[in-house]
């Protein structure tokens, strides 16, 4: 980048240092610099800062006429230049009456944002830390001579407010520049470049170990109930959060947590007979369920324990038979009784406890003709509390039949104990895991820049929040699309690989949320169940296949390359026939294949929700699943564990995504 009127520039810098006056010369963000790539086929947005009211003139060397604008009262300006077809190099001149900047070696081509956590951040090279280097990294680096692939890495930074600029610099791809660049992004671009011969700009903005909420804007997170409390701890102004003394808060919080834990476990109501059939609740108040108890007004604007009782009358034909009790989601925790006997519970130890639909089995020995009592002890420590799902979710039915009784409507209720309001936390020192801070500092500064799309490799840090990720991840994608204002630009992402997470059965729910996100338009998902040879390493070294599979989506869906199979098999539907379940798939390519002697990691269950290892056989483009221990099958799961490395592929070598055909929660598996 070349400056003219250099003496004026140096003088202004000296004045700025001496008296802190406003810098008057035209300035550009880090993204608009030598070696950048502009997106072809769109108006390229160029922007910067100057003296308020200053005239700005911009011209690309491929143009005959200048574009002009005027800096606003804050000194900001922006212009849009029509870009030619892919090619270059070009120059861009930005002039004012006082100075000019020339941006050199500009290419026009395809621009992709590459974001996520450590698996996107992982370098090609080994550097002695967790960056172990990709497979064959020495030869991969040595061969990385692609001057028309341009690299930009956003320097890691956090902010509590949206920023207009970031730190970073463009460079041409070479063995020297690519070694410390995102391996996944590079292999993606290399594959696309080989097919299209089009210049590619990669804007790499990632940070290891970070959750998706850090990459999402405050307004978007405010629309998601799950993140309300986290947002309250992130200031909306720039302050020295590290200087805040939190000793008093920590003391109060410890005392509150002790009381909360004691209240959750100290079941006073049970000792008083609240769950018993014979108990008289004549003095209890009435609440129509489902609803959050706060909806009743100030008297119930509380946290703590509330008991609910419902009397139901059952016909003689139900007596002594197993029942299925459904109560919908409950906020937060519950212990549920039928005629005084506990039939189920969900505690804070359960993943996404407030979203889990309560479905409990009532043993026939508890069921009697006529009067029966359902009692539910609900504990809620913050936010809304109670049975607040949908009316159709509240029912009790006879197992094995369609017969059921609605439980929606009036219930008796009584407050057992009230929990003090949680201590108000002072603004905490924030870090890269805090909500919004990476969106503010590492996404927002990029948004005026025109792009083709985004690739995303993240999810490991959200693996315990699979249900919440169902809404968070699509919301983040839509957030980015809305902010860029380019419609539903392509967003291709990587499903998390097998790994020995501490929390059992956590990764399958996250993978399921990623699979469900394909319902958003113009998205694509790469399956990685086969890329690791060590499920104890969360950073698979085979980033070549990850980048290639991302590129397959882009080549097929974005660049309209024909005859490309771009996805492995994805579950479509099932059909039960006798003692078998036939699974239909999309994206079978040239046909389904097994790597090995027989298919693995299929399990099957009947209505008892007990899964057993299954025999699975490929028949055409379907898989038929069965077990001699399950005569009346109801559901199938595939690859449903943290570390599953299944072996179902299409003939093009793309693996099938893990899936389940059910929505059960309290399931069991064969030992």
What is the pLDDT at residue 1? Answer: 57
First to last CA, the chain: 66
Domain-ending residue, one of 401, 419, 437: 419
Phi, psi (rounded to 5 degrees) for 87: 160, -165
Quote the Cα angle for 253-255-259, to 5°: 115
Establish if 283 belongs to a structural domain.
Answer: yes
What is the pLDDT at residue 22? Answer: 39
- Our count of domains for the chain comes to 2
C-beta of residue 300 within 8 angstroms of C-beta of residue 293: yes
Sequence-separated (6 or more) residues with CB below 8 Å from residue 564: 552, 555, 556
Q: Between helices 183-196 and 543-553, what is the axis angle to 10°?
A: 50
Sequence-separated (6 or more) residues with CB below 8 Å from residue 208: 117, 118, 121, 130
Establish if 378 belongs to a structural domain.
Answer: yes
Distance, in Å, from the CA atom of 117 to the CA atom of 497, rounded to the nearest integer, reads 13
pLDDT tens digits, one per residue of 491-525:
999 999 999 999 888 999 999 999 999 999 999 99
**Joined tokens for residue 489:** 């630009």
DSSP reduced 3-state for 54: coil
Strand partners, 27: 49
Buried b (16+ CB within 10 A) or exposed e, 381-411: beebbbbbbeeebbbbebeeeeeeeebbeeb
Strand partners, 65: none
- Give Cα 280 to chain centroid, integer Å: 48
Nearest to 566 by CA among 576, 575, 556: 556
pTM: 0.75
What is the pLDDT at residue 20? Answer: 35
What is the pLDDT at residue 257? Answer: 87
Establish if 336 belongs to a structural domain.
Answer: yes
Distance, in Å, from the CA atom of 137 to the CA atom of 131, rounded to the nearest integer, reads 11
What is the pLDDT at residue 666? Answer: 73
What is the pLDDT at residue 665? Answer: 81
**Side by side, which strands form the sheet with 333-338?**
285-289, 409-419, 303-314, 370-380, 333-338, 341-346
Q: Which residue has the tokens 């207009």?
A: 164
Burial category of 371 from C-beta neighbours within 10 Å (exposed 0-12, middle 13-18, buried 19 and up): exposed
CATH of the domain at 301: 2.60.120.260
Q: Which residue has the tokens 């995102």?
A: 182
Domain-ending residue, one of 419, 444, 465: 419
Establish if 110 belongs to a structural domain.
Answer: no
Domain-ending residue, one of 372, 390, 419: 419
Sequence-separated (6 or more) residues with CB below 8 Å from residue 628: none
Establish if 149 belongs to a structural domain.
Answer: no
Nearest to 416 by CA among 296, 339, 309, 329: 309
C-beta of residue 487 within 8 angstroms of C-beta of residue 524: no
Establish if 535 belongs to a structural domain.
Answer: no
What is the pLDDT at residue 250? Answer: 77
- Give Cα 470 to chain centroid, integer Å: 7
What is the pLDDT at residue 231? Answer: 85
Sequence-separated (6 or more) residues with CB below 8 Å from residue 438: 158, 207, 210, 214, 215, 432
What is the pLDDT at residue 60? Answer: 96
C-beta of residue 75 within 8 angstroms of C-beta of residue 22: yes
Q: Which domain holds residue 579?
A: 570-669
Establish if 440 belongs to a structural domain.
Answer: no
Q: Which residue has the tokens 């080549």?
A: 555
Positions of the chain with pLDDT under 70: 1-24, 237-246, 351, 425-429, 671
Q: How many CB atoms lie within 10 A of CB 2?
A: 12
3-state secondary structure 336-377: EEECCEEEEEECCCCCCCCCCEEEEEECHHHCCCEEEEEEEE
What is the pLDDT at residue 426? Answer: 64
Beta strands in 64-165 (DSSP E): 67-70, 76-82, 87-95, 100-116, 146-153
C-beta of residue 189 within 8 angstroms of C-beta of residue 546: no
Establish if 370 belongs to a structural domain.
Answer: yes
């Amino acid at each position: 980048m070349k400056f003219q009127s250099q003496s004026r520039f140096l003088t202004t810098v000296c004045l700025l240092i001496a008296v802190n006056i406003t810098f008057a010369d035209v300035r550009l963000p880090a993204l608009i610099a030598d070696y950048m790539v502009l997106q072809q086929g769109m108006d390229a947005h160029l922007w910067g800062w100057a003296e308020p009211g200053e005239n700005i003139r911009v011209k690309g060397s491929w143009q005959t006429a200048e574009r002009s604008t005027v800096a606003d009262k804050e000194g900001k300006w922006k212009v849009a230049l029509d870009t030619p077809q892919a090619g270059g190099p070009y120059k861009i001149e930005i002039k004012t009456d006082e100075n000019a900047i020339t941006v050199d070696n500009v290419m026009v081509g395809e621009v992709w944002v590459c974001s996520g956590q450590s698996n996107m951040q992982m370098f090609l090279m080994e550097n002695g830390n967790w960056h172990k280097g990709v497979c064959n990294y020495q030869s991969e680096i040595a061969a990385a001579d692609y001057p028309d692939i341009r690299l930009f890495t956003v320097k890691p930074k956090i902010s509590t407010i949206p920023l207009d600029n970031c730190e970073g610099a463009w460079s041409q791809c070479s063995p020297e520049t690519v070694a410390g660049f995102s391996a996944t992004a590079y292999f993606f671009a290399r594959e696309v470049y080989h097919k299209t011969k089009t210049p590619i700009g990669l804007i790499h903005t990632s940070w290891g170990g970070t959750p998706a909420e850090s990459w999402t804007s405050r307004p978007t997170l405010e629309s998601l109930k799950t993140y309300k409390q986290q947002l309250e701890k992130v200031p909306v102004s720039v302050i020295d959060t590290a200087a805040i003394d939190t000793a008093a808060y920590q003391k109060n919080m410890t005392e509150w947590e002790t009381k909360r834990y004691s209240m959750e476990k100290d079941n006073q109501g049970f000792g008083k007979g609240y769950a018993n059939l014979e108990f008289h609740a004549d003095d209890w108040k009435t609440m129509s369920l489902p609803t959050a108890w706060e909806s009743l007004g100030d008297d119930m604007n509380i946290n703590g324990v509330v008991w609910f009782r419902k009397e139901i009358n059952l016909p003689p034909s139900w007596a002594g038979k197993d029942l299925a009790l459904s109560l919908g989601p409950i906020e937060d925790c519950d212990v549920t009784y039928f005629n005084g006997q506990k039939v189920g519970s969900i505690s804070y130890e359960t993943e996404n406890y407030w979203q889990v639909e309560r479905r409990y089995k009532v043993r026939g020995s508890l069921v009697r003709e006529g009067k029966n009592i359902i009692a539910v002890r609900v504990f809620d420590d913050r936010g809304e509390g109670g049975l607040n799902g949908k009316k159709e979710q509240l029912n009790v039915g006879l197992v094995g039949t369609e017969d059921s009784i609605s439980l929606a409507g009036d219930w008796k209720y009584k407050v057992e104990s009230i929990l003090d309001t949680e201590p108000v936390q002072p603004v905490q020192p924030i870090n890269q895991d805090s909500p919004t801070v990476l969106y503010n500092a590492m996404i927002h500064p990029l948004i005026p820049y025109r792009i083709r799309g985004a690739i995303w490799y993240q999810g490991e840090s959200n693996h315990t929040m699979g249900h919440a990720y169902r809404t968070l991840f699509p919301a983040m994608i839509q957030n980015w699309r809305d902010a860029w204002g380019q419609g539903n630009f392509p967003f291709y992402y990587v499903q998390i690989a097998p790994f020995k997470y501490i929390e059992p059965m956590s990764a399958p729910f996250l993978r399921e949320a990623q699979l469900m996100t394909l319902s958003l338009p113009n998205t694509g998902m790469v399956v990685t169940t086969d890329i690791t040879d060590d499920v104890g390493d969360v950073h698979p070294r085979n980033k070549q296949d990850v980048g290639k599979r991302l590129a397959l989506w882009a080549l097929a869906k974005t660049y309209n390359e024909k005859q490309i199979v771009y996805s492995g098999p994805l579950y479509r539907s099932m059909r039960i026939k006798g003692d078998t379940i036939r699974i239909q798939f999309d994206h079978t390519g040239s046909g389904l294949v097994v790597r090995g002697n027989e298919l693995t990691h299929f399990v099957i269950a009947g209505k008892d929700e007990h899964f057993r290892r299954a025999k699975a056989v490929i028949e055409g483009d379907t898989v038929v699943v069965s077990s001699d221990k399950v005569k009346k099958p109801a559901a199938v799961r595939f690859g449903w564990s943290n570390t599953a490395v299944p072996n179902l592929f299409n003939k093009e070598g793309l693996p099938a995504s893990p899936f389940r055909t059910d929505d059960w929660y309290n399931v069991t598996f064969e030992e």
